[in-house]
Amino acid sequence: MKKLILSFLLLVIAITFMTGCNTISGMGRDVSAVGNDVSKGANTVSRKMSN
């Protein structure tokens, strides 16, 4: 019973997430944008630590 409830909740979360992104390709662009922002932040911190 717990596995059924967990599976259902994961399905609902996945559908909600995918709907927010509109498409799989939209989700890829969203993830890519987050990755770019993290990289920019890491580079900024690295430069500040080097000086």
Q: What is the structure's pLDDT at 18?
A: 73
CA 37 to the chain's CA centroid: 12
Q: What is the DSSP letter of 21?
A: H
| Rg of the chain, C-alpha, whole Å | 18
Query: Do residues 2 and 10 lie in contact, with contact meaning Cβ atoms separated by under 8 Å?
Result: no
Which residues, given as ranges, of the chain have pLDDT below 70?
Answer: 20-24
- Residues across the chain: 51
Q: What is the structure's pLDDT at 15?
A: 82
What is the tally of structural domains in the chain? 1
Query: What is the rounded distance in angstroms from the CA atom of residue 3 to the CA atom of residue 16?
Result: 20
24: containing domain:
2-50
